Amino acid sequence: MPSAQSLLIILTALVYFGAALVVAQIGRLLSPSYGTRMSANWFWRGVLWFGAVILFARGVTLLWPGQAFAVGKMSGIVLGTGLVILGFALWKLDDVMRENAPPPWSVQLMRLVALTGVDGLMTRTALTLPPASFGDLPPSDTPDPEQRPRLLMMGAALLVIVMVVAAIVLNSPAAAAV
């Protein structure tokens, strides 16, 4: 069984990984490749991506500290700092999502639910999505030319998540005991 300190280190690293992914998502949503009403210039998107890389690197240094970073006497303040960063990042992500049009997956979800023919499910799904703004065009049935970069980003994020989980599982004390 891992010690309380080991659990604190793993939890803190996961919080930093989560914060990095949320900051990267904000940078992705503010890019012109995502069809939104609000976007940021390349400098601010670069700052967001750089911040995501820094947060991810901090999570990596917590899991594999080496000699440069000592985690043996790490306190809960590092976890608290990560939670504050994650909280602010989630708050900003919510702010960015409120300013943007509903994402294309919600339109696809609505179409899928409509195909099932279940009216109650269709109504509940429609009521949970944000309303369209005045002047918004209806979603088109033509494929989006920017869909491939979004799919690549989602695939890369999934690959990173799988790699982190595999690294944690393979380096756990239980795996070392086998």
Residue ranges per structural domain of the chain = 1-100, 102-131
Place of tokens 């930093």: 16
User: What tokens does 53 get?
Assistant: 């890389």
> Over the stretch 94-130, which tens digit does the pLDDT of each residue have?
877 776 655 556 666 667 777 777 667 767 766 776 6
**Confidence grade of residue 78 (pLDDT, cut at 50, 70, 90):** confident
Residue 141 phi, psi (nearest 5): -90, -5
* CA nearest neighbour of 82 among 19, 143, 127: 19
- The model's pTM: 0.57
Render 48-87 in DSSP notation, one character per residue: HHHHHHHHHHHHHHHHS-TTTS--TT--HHHHHHHHHHHH
